[in-house]
Structure 1
Amino acid sequence: MESPKVCLTLTEKTLAEDLELLNKYRSYVDMAELRVDFLNQDERLYARRFPSMAGLPCILTIRREIDGGKFVEGESARTILFARALSFADEDKTKNFAYVDFEEDFHISSLEDATLAFETKVIRSFHDMKNPVRNILERLKELNPSGLEIPKIAFMPHTLDDVTNLFEQASKISGNNHILLAMGTMGIPTRVLGAKLKNFLTYTSAPESIQNTSNIAHLDAVKLGGLYRTKSINEATKIFGITGWPLSGTSSPELHNTGYCRHGMNAVYIPFPAEKFEQAIDFSEQVGVQGLSVTVPHKEAALARADFVDNAALEIGSSNTLIKKDGKWLAYNTDAEGFLKALLEFLNLKNLKHKKISIIGAGGAAKAVAYAVYNSGGKACIFNRTLSKAKELAEKYDFKYAPLNFESVSTIRKYSDVIIQTTSKGMHCEEPSNPENDPLYFYDFNGKEALFDIIYMPKATPIMVRAREAGCKICNGFSMLLYQGYRQFELYTGVEY
């Protein structure tokens, strides 16, 4: 398995700005793509100079708007820019563009003759910015009938199944004379695991210009090369990951990959969002995922899918950790352990005896919280909009239950030593409290409650801001994330974090 070359896509307005970024991240990359369509009009005329300035192999790209680029001036103007950038080839080939990206429908014989004469390799690309491409093998042959070019397919997946299909199709290809990429956040595995796709190269961007490629979800050079260590991925690399939906803003890859690097392990941990849990399992089976972290809304589905269930996960009724062993999926739950350690640390307590606790929500996370509270000696009341779910969870531990609305204010007061917020309300939200982002919008804090919100992004959710302003002690879920992640790491690797 050969590692793909790492190509830094340059999208600044001037050649000088592009060169500055290339020099800053040179150690992470093997080559650079000059996106002429991002350059100012006058700068575009001097693109020919860039290869000698760069000092490494360069791709010349002038991407049309229809293909996700910025160029709108028409094909005649684009042809002239290509001609200017490829003309007057230097005898020193390092001072010429090593590659040029022509789309599937862009065939200008004079330019193609020039690439042959100047030994500039053509990347023949096809982009679908809205839909997936499923007939990968057929399309590769259509893109490269002569066998002299490098075919590139980049598409926007609709589901994780489209990404799984890409890996399945790529497994049938010999050689690495192609580029296969899925765009968007679901496509991140195709950028990290380019070696498994037998890709010729993978693209990255500088952190400073990552917003220019946000529509296709480039990983920045530091993340791709430093955090995911994509150049080190080979046949022996163990693959772990996290799934959920929509899985935006997870910190788990940073936690796990940092641990692998610290311990010198040949392993990588990647995110792959899946709307349906079975899609995540199918993807894991295809690429060889050995350990899977599971977040909302799939924790109960993970438990149901497992071939073996740990006692704690069985009692909790949900799993956030799956491990593949001897062809079987083993289910564990590290949420309860991580939560309890974080909560007791926050409260500076050894256990929850004599504490009356409100648990907000009755989903997968609430199940782990209730299990932990019960086993630490606390008394709780479960509050949920769907009362039957609150009743089912509460009766398991002889807890009280109540509807999550203004009628329960007095009951919340009775169980207000600690209030634990387990729903997704407030996630990625920094707006003032309202009924959409604050599950207790109807409750007025008196300053005596301790509030623990399992959400860690943002650092202070709307309910946390309200509680803090009332004088309450508050804590987000970041320490819970760390502690449950440390336990997952140990289960995956057999080594303490």
Structure 2
Amino acid sequence: MHPPKICLCLTCSTLAEDLAVLNTYRRWIDMVELRADYLADDERLYIRRFPAMAGLPVILTIRRIADGGVYKGGEAARTALMARGLAFASQDTRKNFAYIDLEEDLDVPSIQDAALAFGTRIIRSLHNMKETVADIPAKMAQIRKTGYEIPKIACMPQRLTELSALFKEAATLNFEHIVCTMGALSVPSRILAERTGSFLTYCSPPGVHVDEALTKLGHVDPVQLNTMYNFRAIDENTALFGITGYPLAHTLSPELHNTGYRKHGMNAVYIPIKSESVEDALEFAETLGMKGLSVTVPHKETVLSKLEHLSEEAAEIKACNTVVRTQTGWTGYNTDIYGITQALLEFLNVKNLRGKKVAIIGAGGAAKAVAHAVYKLKGKACIFNRTLSSARNLAQKYRFKYSVLGVEGQKLLEKYSWLIIQTTSVGMGTNKKDEGADPIDFYGFCGTEQVYDIIYSPEKTPLLYRAEKAGCRICNGYSMLKHQAYKQFELFTGEQYEC
């Protein structure tokens, strides 16, 4: 089979707008899908002109609401519109629609005959907007009416384990097909269309010219597909890596790792894998033969029981952010320790923390790495956490102080305020209760503190804004991310990251 094509979905209300979007992304794509269901009523009368305007192969799609589209007319009117799009075919086939998307239950012989006569291939599609489709090979065989048609299944997996099954089943297909997953878990299948054998992968432009519904369905930006994920170079020999966590709303790790692979001339790609379950993430990685995973919240501690081996540091702090697949199973490491150590030394311009009093906000997986690093740097720390028992358990390991995170601990926080390190997800805005939140909003800065927040998106959390306004030196977590990613890269590939 040929490498998958990149198909840009056009969802503007006029053909002129659609053409402008196409021209913006022309260099990044192979073909386009004209979503005529999004066009204004009067614009739909002229869809026949679009293939000649486009200068690229065009799919004509008029999607019903039941299948995720916005076409509100009846089936007779929709069929007539399809016929209008195929009519008056040109002898120059480049000026005709190259493909037309017809649902599996749409049986209109006149449309099918016209498509065949005019050299327009039929994409025969099945959409399930609520769940995955079981037994894809059997379903593909059922909807593929002739060898001239390209069967397409678009479905909405609810768990990553369903996506694993889809990859397994799609890999057995030996004819042209399209596999398109939608929703929060869809990104891996869009980037790795080569591994599902899909004829194409759909994408949408960022910004105002894309329908919000398509973004929610998991469409990827065509520029990102090419520049970040090196989509066109992915083949059967490409080494696969990724990052897993939940909700995994913001991550710059793919950019860091994929840039590294390009600099080193490696045939490798690193992708985001959203999963509420770390078991599902590991199963998915094994299904695809992935060689390594970055592990982020909330899986840094729960992943430990799933691993065959642990590095000394990961075992000591009982938190793991990196897993590497070996012949004997998964081995876990913690590169957060290295990352925060290098980041703090750069931020503070010191060689160690001897004699310095440090406040660590939080007691989770990230806080464990931070506490270990502060201890190794000879600092004295106090752990502040809403659950006092968690703060105590972490603090006692290093003979640190501990306190409840709240007004009750304010005096102690003032005492340990030379450096404040914020390690929780509060401020990231990944859920409503954290939106615009500051985990130490009860504390009044005097301006002499140095504040490090491990969050890097947003660039400045409410905590950092408030600290900076008070005159404090501040730093976000990008430096930590960068340094820990360099160490991960080395564990994944055996080579040092080329900066």
TM range (shorter): over 0.9
Match of 1:360 in 2: 361
- Counterpart of 1:328 in structure 2: which amino acid? G
How far has the Cα of 1:315 moved from its partner?
1.5
How far has the Cα of 1:84 moved from its partner?
0.6
| 2:216 counterpart SS class | coil
Match of 1:489 in 2: 489
How far has the Cα of 1:386 moved from its partner?
1.3
| 1:195 counterpart SS class | helix
Match of 2:330 in 1: 329
Unpaired runs of 5+ residues, structure 2, are none
**Cα 1:210/1:264, change in 2 over 3 Å:** farther
How far has the Cα of 1:252 moved from its partner?
0.7
Q: Distance in 2 between matches of 1:270 and 1:331?
A: 19
Contact 1:210 1:218 in 2 (8 A): no
Over residues 252-287 of structure 1, what are the superposed CA-to-partner deviations in whole Å (9 max), with x where a residue is unaligned? 111111111122211000001110100000000001
Alignment pair present for 1:178 and 2:177 = yes
Match of 2:371 in 1: 370
- Counterpart of 1:411 in structure 2: which amino acid? L
Match of 2:339 in 1: 338
Q: Normalization by structure 1: what TM-score?
A: 0.96
How far has the Cα of 1:121 moved from its partner?
0.9
Contact 1:210 1:220 in 2 (8 A): no
Match of 1:97 in 2: 97
Contact 2:308 2:331 in 1 (8 A): yes
**Cα 1:183/1:199, change in 2 over 3 Å:** same
Report how many aligned residue pairs link the two structures.
Answer: 495
Over residues 440-461 of structure 1, what are the superposed CA-to-partner deviations in whole Å (9 max), with x where a residue is unaligned? 1222222221111101111111
Match of 2:200 in 1: 201
Match of 1:140 in 2: 140
Q: Distance in 1 between matches of 2:211 and 2:333?
A: 38
Q: Distance in 2 between matches of 1:33 and 1:379?
A: 60
Unpaired runs of 5+ residues, structure 1, are none
Match of 2:458 in 1: 458
How far has the Cα of 1:211 moved from its partner?
4.6
Contact 2:103 2:126 in 1 (8 A): yes
Contact 1:238 1:290 in 2 (8 A): yes
How far has the Cα of 1:27 moved from its partner?
2.0
Q: Distance in 1 between matches of 2:287 and 2:145?
A: 29
Question: Sequence identity, in percent?
Answer: 54
| Ranges of 4+ aligned residues in structure 1 off by more than 6 Å | 433-436
How far has the Cα of 1:210 moved from its partner?
4.0
Match of 2:44 in 1: 44
Contact 2:258 2:269 in 1 (8 A): yes
Contact 2:11 2:211 in 1 (8 A): no
Contact 1:434 1:441 in 2 (8 A): no
| 1:186 counterpart SS class | coil
Contact 1:322 1:330 in 2 (8 A): yes
Over residues 60-94 of structure 1, what are the superposed CA-to-partner deviations in whole Å (9 max), with x where a residue is unaligned? 01112222222112222211211111111111111
Match of 1:388 in 2: 389
Alignment pair present for 1:467 and 2:467 = yes
For residues 225-264 of structure 1, the aligned pairs below 5 Å read 225-264=226-265
Q: Distance in 2 between matches of 1:435 and 1:457?
A: 12
Q: Normalization by structure 2: what TM-score?
A: 0.96
Contact 1:429 1:461 in 2 (8 A): no
Q: Please, which moves more after superposition, 409-418 or 298-307?
A: 298-307
Q: Distance in 1 between matches of 2:272 and 2:105?
A: 34
Q: Distance in 2 between matches of 1:414 and 1:235?
A: 57
**Cα 1:203/1:394, change in 2 over 3 Å:** same
